[in-house]
């Protein structure tokens, strides 16, 4: 049986009916060839133990949509006793002593963890090319990148190596790889899902989310991980209320700033046609401060990166160069040898923007722009229910094509970083294809209105399939 083509609901029903076991499912996915290098590590021993435990729970009469369902986890989210590398030499052998809150919740739900997926080092990148463990390939075209930084999770879902996967999104790191690989990716509202146990990149922007084959699967996983957590002071007391949106009454906003010169023409045309196919009330809106978003985003993230990376000194854990002559030499060698180019680049940029004489000129200005961008969205949502935009200005590019040009790589985030700056929820989903390459579209909602986004997306999915 081809389990990889089945949805979570179909698999859950089959498990409940005794058509197959969680052990059958787990063996199936563990034994599939990873020909896109989606995983950094597979957790065969613990996965089989979890599957057996799930089968016992099912046999005893317990039921749950995720009970016995195999999932993958981005390797910057901690599972107790399992290496969490963040795709860096600096943490190559680091084993966390605790579970992330999302992992704890999914364990309680009976999820089986198949393995840890590849990412850009410390989640800094848009192509999954900066990983210490090598490049992940795009299942749609193995000469191209899967996007990043959650490229391993997106590639694993798209190639049928897992049913669903967790990722993290700081500036588009769930939505862009989901778009590049032709799957669904949800970046929730900032604070709706606990960040406890996520290796921090930029703490005011990071958010754990979900990548799945379809909208319903994404919703099922999200409903198992959201909520207030005492271990994360930024998490919100949040309740998810199922709603059934009336598509005929929706008003969709299309920001004129997002259909810009330089965007791939074929992608632009496909997205415009996909919006027309929805047959909903569409109005043009303006988000005037969008043009400043990328600059503000990279100043804020680099500043927070420079702070968050300070703990990786090689003295307590992580990569350590034993040839150091003294403490200062140890810092230079441990950090110089443990981090890759992109991480070093962002640490240097962030340290500069936070230094005396520059903080007000750069960091403080970026925070002011962030406030204006958030206000743009709040103003827009006074007249529309949802906002639809492209996810990326271009199709997946060839491996090695942009990695040597950081500025060109950063420009790929132009349509996604505004959502993180504003703390909004957004979902990326496929709407079309061009030459077998997926076209991703982004649906943005008000704070904590994931239910509305998911309800609308389920209806849009039927039209775009």
Residues 93-115 have pLDDT tens digits of 999 999 999 999 999 999 999 99
Q: To which residue do tokens 């463990």 refer? A: 133
Average pLDDT score, the chain: 96
Write out pLDDT tens, residues 188-209: 999 999 999 999 999 999 999 9
Residue 74 annotated among the catalytic residues of the structure: yes
Residue 338 dihedral angles phi and psi, to the nearest 5°: -85, -25
Contact indicator for 175, 416 with CB cutoff of 8 Å: yes
Total domains, the chain: 1
Q: Is residue 21 a part of any domain in this protein?
A: yes
DSSP class of residue 362 equals I
| Active-site option among 88, 153, 173, 274 | 173
Rounded CA gap, 358 and 174, in Å?
A: 32
Between 261 and 462, the more confident residue is 462
Catalytic option among 21, 86, 88, 149: 149
pLDDT (0 to 100) of residue 238: 86
pLDDT tens per residue, range 11-24? 999 999 999 999 99
Catalytic residue among 74, 213, 333, 446: 74
Domain CATH code at residue 70: 3.90.1300.10
Helices (H) and strands (E) in the chain, counts: 15, 11
Quote the pLDDT of residue 405.
87
- The reported pLDDT for the residue numbered 1 is 86
Is residue 260 predicted with pLDDT exceeding 80? no
Per-residue pLDDT at 276 exceeds 90: yes
Q: What is the pLDDT of residue 119?
A: 98
**Token code pair at residue 240:** 């998810």
The predicted pLDDT at position 220 comes to: 98
SS3 of residue 110 by DSSP: coil
Q: Which of 188, 175, 176, 92 is nearest to 132 (CA)?
A: 92
Burial status of residue 78 (CB atoms within 10 A of its CB: 0-12, 13-18, 19 or more)? buried
Q: What is the pLDDT of residue 254?
A: 98
C-alpha angle with apex 137: 123 to 193, nearest 5 degrees? 35
SS3 per-residue string spanning 219-236: HHHHHHHECCCCCCCCCC
Looking at the domain assignment, is residue 367 inside a domain?
no
Q: Which residue has the higher pLDDT, 412 or 165?
A: 165
Q: What is the tens place of the pLDDT at every residue in 111-154?
A: 999 999 999 999 999 999 999 999 999 999 999 999 999 999 99
Distance CA 147, CA 153 (A): 10
462 is catalytic: no
Q: Are 22 and 78 in contact (CB under 8 A)?
A: no
Q: Report d(CA 320, CA 302) in Å as an integer.
A: 24
Peptide bond between residue 247 and the one before it cis (omega within 30 degrees of 0): no
Domain membership flag for residue 366: no
Contact 144, 394 (CB under 8 A): no
211 φ, ψ (degrees, to nearest 5)? -125, 130
Q: Is residue 387 part of a domain?
A: no
Q: Model confidence over 341-393: pLDDT tens digits?
A: 999 999 999 999 999 888 889 999 999 999 999 999 999 999 999 999 999 99
**DSSP classification of residue 363:** I
Give the pLDDT confidence score for residue 73 in this predicted structure: 99
Domain encompassing residue 120:
3-225
Model pLDDT, residue 262:
82
pTM: 0.97
How far does Cα 326 stand from its chain's mean position? 40
Is the pLDDT score of 261 beyond 80? no
Conformation bin of residue 5: beta by default, left when phi > 0, alpha when psi is -120 to 50: alpha
- The Cα–Cα gap between 234 and 243 comes to 26
**Structural domain contains residue 458:** no
- Tally of CB atoms within 10 A around 297: 27
Residue 213 lies in a domain: yes
Residue 403 lies in a domain: no
Q: Tell me, what's the pLDDT at 362? A: 94
- Per residue in 209-252, pLDDT tens? 999 999 999 999 999 999 999 999 999 998 899 999 999 999 99
Q: Which of 75-79, 330-334, 459-463 shows the lowest per-residue confidence on average (mean pLDDT)?
A: 330-334
Q: Tokens in use for 301?
A: 């993230």
Residue 259 lies in a domain: no
pLDDT for the residue 408: 85
What pLDDT is stored for residue 296 in this prediction? Answer: 97
* Residue 2: Cβ-neighbour burial (10 angstroms; 0-12, 13-18, 19+): exposed
């Amino acid at each position: 049986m081809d389990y990889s083509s089945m949805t979570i609901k179909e698999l859950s029903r089959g498990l409940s009916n005794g058509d197959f076991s969680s052990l059958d499912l787990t063996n199936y996915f563990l034994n599939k060839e990873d020909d896109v290098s989606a995983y950094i590590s597979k957790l065969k021993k613990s996965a089989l133990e979890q599957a057996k435990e799930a089968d016992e729970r099912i046999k005893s009469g317990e039921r749950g949509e995720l009970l016995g369902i195999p999932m993958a986890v981005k390797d910057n989210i901690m599972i107790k006793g399992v290496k969490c590398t963040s795709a860096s030499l600096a943490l190559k052998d680091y084993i966390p002593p605790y579970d992330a809150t999302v992992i704890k919740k999914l364990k309680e739900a009976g999820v089986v963890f198949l393995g840890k997926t590849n990412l850009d080092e410390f989640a800094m990148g848009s192509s999954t090319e900066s990983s210490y463990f090598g490049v992940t390939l795009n299942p749609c075209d193995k000469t191209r990148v899967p996007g990043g930084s959650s490229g391993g999770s997106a590639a694993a879902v798209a190639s049928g190596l897992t049913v669903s996967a967790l990722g993290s999104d700081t500036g588009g790191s769930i939505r862009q790889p989901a778009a590049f690989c032709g799957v669904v990716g949800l970046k929730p509202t900032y604070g709706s899902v606990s960040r406890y146990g996520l290796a921090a990149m930029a703490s005011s922007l990071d958010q754990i989310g979900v990548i799945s084959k379809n909208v319903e699967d994404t919703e099922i996983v999200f409903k198992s991980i959201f909520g207030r957590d005492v271990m994360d002071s930024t998490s919100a007391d949040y309740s998810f209320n199922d709603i059934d949106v009336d598509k005929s009454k929706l008003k969709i906003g299309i920001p004129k700033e997002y259909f810009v010169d330089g965007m791939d023409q074929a992608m632009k045309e496909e997205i415009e046609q996909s919006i027309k196919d929805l047959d909903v009330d569409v109005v043009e809106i303006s988000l005037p401060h969008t043009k400043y978003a990328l600059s503000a985003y990279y100043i804020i993230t680099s500043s927070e990166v420079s702070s968050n990376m300070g703990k990786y000194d090689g003295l307590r854990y992580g990569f350590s160069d034993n040839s150091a002559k003294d403490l200062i030499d140890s810092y230079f060698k441990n950090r110089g040898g443990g981090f890759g180019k992109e991480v070093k680049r962002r640490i240097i940029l962030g340290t500069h923007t936070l230094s005396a004489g520059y903080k007000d000129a750069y960091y403080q200005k970026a925070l002011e722009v962030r406030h204006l961008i958030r206000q743009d969205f709040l103003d827009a949502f006074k007249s529309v229910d949802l906002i639809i935009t492209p996810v990326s200005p271009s199709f997946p590019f060839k491996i090695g094509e942009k990695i040597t040009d950081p500025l060109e790589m950063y420009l790929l985030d132009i349509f996604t970083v505004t959502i993180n700056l504003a703390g909004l929820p957004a979902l990326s989903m496929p709407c079309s294809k061009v030459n077998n390459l997926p076209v991703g579209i982004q649906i943005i909602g008000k704070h904590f209105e994931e239910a509305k986004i998911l309800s609308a997306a389920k209806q849009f999915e039927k039209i775009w399939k």
